[in-house]
Amino acid sequence: MILHDRISDILPSWRTRVNRLVNEYRDFKVCDVTVSQIYQGIRGVQIQVADISYVDPYEGIRLRGYTIPEVLEKLPRMDGCEFPMAGGLYYLLMTDEMPDFDKAMQVEDEWKKHAELPDHVISMIHSMPRTTHPMTLFSQGILALQTESEFTRRYNDGLTKADYWIPTLDDSIRLTAKLPSLAAFIYNWKYRDGAMIMPDPNLDWSANFAYMVENPNNHEYEELCRLFFLLHSDHEGANVSAHTAHLVNSALSDIYLTSSAAMNGLAGPLHGLANQECLRWLLKVYNSFDALPSKEEMAMFARKELQSGRVIPGYGHAVLRTTDPRFTAQYEFARKYLPEDELYQLVCRVYEVLPDVLKETGKVKNPYPNVDAINGTLQYHYGVREFDFYTVLFGVSRIMGITAHSVWARALNKPIERPKSLTTAMLEERVAGKPDTIEVEL
């Protein structure tokens, strides 16, 4: 398989680089941690090395070194398609190399072989109450697929450490192959008549989701899916879902256990659930005016929201200090495909006004839109109006990044993650200049 071959070729030089850092620079200091960082979510502390992507505060995400516009320009696409195939992106994330058309197609073809859901996953979801949150069903579905884990089977048979990454990669391909089918099945079962639609072998991975949920505006929605699944695939190694995945994977839990755990983090309102809040807020603005608000009306509305202590969803970011390029890419999509959409026009108006209003507060570090400021608007336009499903779409994409991180963590033999905690009393003694009464055990 193409990903095995390529990773086998490049792995020796990666192992040499990592071993050199660990052995020759053992005591080199990267970061000192302050009390406020300990108490405030370890914010800004560089705690791991993750090569799949990096969020530059002023440029946004770089996937394997490529900015979003570069990724969209350089990845191969099928004839007649505006946006690239996810198979090419997966090749890039896994191998650190921009694929040609043939390589991207080989990943897509491998996915097609494994796209079908096993019966027990379908019956497990059927046994759940229909009111279950779609992220719970998605996480459960991934966990139920764990019965197929090659890593677990081969580990139990005595797999050698240097080869851990190989069945981890096999599991990753098989899991990611099924994600559009799993998401579409959950969508159809929860919100429609429950029809089980099989993927179309003539379509690429992203477009197949659009096909399986039978979107009435299929061609445009296929393009949106291609774009959406590319944009959300990774956002560095230390956000909640990526870090959860890293931690769970470090215990040699297989890719199914790892990805399900990551999805439970993504399901939190401070992480992946934020996109539904943004659309809710936009609809609130929309319903507060008879027509598109003027700039002055919009600014007054936003100031009132801020004065009543609310945050403006879709604006601000913990790391970014500029407009999120993932917002810009979808903004351009909307300008081309749905310029007359009233919610999109409202997104534009908010974008014209909000940064200056947020700057007036003097405290918002990034007054610009993040990806969630537009995500929901596009899904809403194409009839996917079940807000609680949006995080599942995010998850389908994000597992590409999560599995790429996991394969490389196994390939480079990253050990179990085990930082150290200390007690409040110990910290009080340290800040008072007293030596620790308990010896730190490493």
Ligand X SMILES: CC(C)(COP(=O)(O)OP(=O)(O)OC[C@H]1O[C@@H](n2cnc3c(N)ncnc32)[C@H](O)[C@@H]1OP(=O)(O)O)[C@@H](O)C(=O)NCCC(=O)NCCS
Taking the C-alpha atoms of residue 32 and residue 368, their distance in angstroms, rounded to an integer, is 30
Size of the residue set binding ligand X (CB under 6 A):
16
Structure tokens at 44: 């800004």
Q: Closest distance between ligand X and the C-beta of residue 367, in Å? A: 8
- What's the gap between Cα 3 and its chain centre? 21
Q: Closest distance between ligand X and the C-beta of residue 113, in Å? A: 35
Sign of the Cα torsion 198, 200, 205, 211 reads: negative
Residue nearest to ligand X (CB): 316
Structure tokens at 179: 């994600």
When the beta carbons of 143 and 227 are compared against ligand X, the nearer one is 227
Helix segments in 192-273, DSSP class H: 205-212, 218-231, 240-250, 255-266
Binding residues among 296-325 for ligand X as defined by CB under 6 A: 306, 311-318
Q: Closest distance between ligand X and the C-beta of residue 187, in Å? A: 23
393 binds ligand X (CB under 6 A): no
CB 326 within 8 A of CB 371: yes
Per-residue x/- mask for ligand X, residues 258 to 297, rule CB under 6 A?
----------------x-----------------------
Task: Say which residues have a Cβ less than 8 Å from residue 434's Cβ, sequence separation at least 6.
Answer: none
In this chain, which of 365, 385, 430, 434 binds ligand X, going by CB under 6 A?
365
CB 404 within 8 A of CB 237: no
372 binds ligand X (CB under 6 A): yes
Indicate if 317 belongs to the active site. Answer: yes
Taking the C-alpha atoms of residue 17 and residue 40, their distance in angstroms, rounded to an integer, is 33
Q: Closest distance between ligand X and the C-beta of residue 309, in Å? A: 9
Q: Closest distance between ligand X and the C-beta of residue 211, in Å? A: 29
Burial 67-89 (b: 16+ CB within 10 A, else e): ebeebbeebbbbeebebbbbbbb
When the beta carbons of 294 and 361 are compared against ligand X, the nearer one is 361
When the beta carbons of 229 and 315 are compared against ligand X, the nearer one is 315
363 binds ligand X (CB under 6 A): yes
Burial 360-382 (b: 16+ CB within 10 A, else e): eeeebebbbbbbbbbbbbbbbbb
Taking the C-alpha atoms of residue 19 and residue 16, their distance in angstroms, rounded to an integer, is 5
Note the residue count of the chain.
442
CB 245 within 8 A of CB 416: no
Piece of the chain touching ligand X by CB under 6 A; list 106-114, 165-173, 360-368, 389-397: 360-368
Catalytic residue (one of 4, 114, 133, 271): 271
When the beta carbons of 252 and 283 are compared against ligand X, the nearer one is 283
Q: Closest distance between ligand X and the C-beta of residue 319, in Å? A: 8
Piece of the chain touching ligand X by CB under 6 A; list 18-26, 76-84, 358-366, 400-408: 358-366
Catalytic residue (one of 170, 372, 381, 405): 372
Structure tokens at 96: 């650190």
Facing residues of 62 across strands?
54, 67
In this chain, which of 364, 378, 402, 407 binds ligand X, going by CB under 6 A?
364
In this chain, which of 244, 250, 370, 391 binds ligand X, going by CB under 6 A?
370
When the beta carbons of 78 and 364 are compared against ligand X, the nearer one is 364
366 binds ligand X (CB under 6 A): yes
When the beta carbons of 87 and 314 are compared against ligand X, the nearer one is 314
215 binds ligand X (CB under 6 A): no
Taking the C-alpha atoms of residue 266 and residue 269, their distance in angstroms, rounded to an integer, is 8
Catalytic residue (one of 317, 324, 381, 405): 317
Task: State the residue for tokens 């659009």.
Answer: 210
Q: Which residues bind ligand X (CB under 6 A)?
A: 274, 306, 311-318, 363-366, 370, 372
So which residues are the catalytic ones? 271, 317, 372
